[in-house]
Amino acid sequence: MMMVGAVLILTGVALFITRTFLSPYIYSLGAILFVIPQLMDRYEGRNLIIIRLRRQQILGAMFLLLTALLMFLLDHNEWILSLTIAAILELYTAFRIPKEVEKEKMK
C-alpha cells in the first residue's frame, strides 16, 4: 500500500508541473495511501530514540497531508516547501528507524 501511495505521490507532483487538473487528486490519494500504514504502525518499546524517530515520521506524514491541502488551496508552487520538509523527515526516519531497531535487538 505504501509503494502504491509513493508512486501516486510522485505522479501527482510530476503532473502538477504540467498543470494537469487531476494532479492534486492523484497526489492526495497517494498521500493518504502512504500515511495510513505509518499511522497504524505502533512501537511499544521504551527506546527513546525510536520513540523520537516515530514522532518525526508522523510529523513528516502530516506534512505530506498538508502538502495535499496546499495543492488545492494555492495556485502556485508554495506547497513545495511543505513537501520538502516532509521528504526530509520521511527519508531521515526511513534510514534511522531500522538501524535503531536492529541495535535494540542486539542488546
- Of all residues in the chain, the percent with pLDDT exceeding 70 is 100
Looking at residue 93, its pLDDT comes to 97
Dump pLDDT digits (tens) for 57-90. 999 999 999 999 999 999 888 999 999 999 999 9
* Opening angle at CA 90, ends 86 and 93, nearest 5: 140
Report domain extents, the chain: 2-106
User: Where does residue 46 fall: left (phi above 0), alpha (psi -120 to 50 degrees), or beta otherwise?
Assistant: alpha
Given a cut of 90, is residue 30 above it in pLDDT?
yes
Looking at residue 17, its pLDDT comes to 86
Identify the CA nearest to 82 among candidates 36, 73, 42. Answer: 73
Dump pLDDT digits (tens) for 85-104. 999 999 999 999 999 999 99
Given a cut of 80, is residue 107 above it in pLDDT?
no
**What's the whole-model pTM score?**
0.92
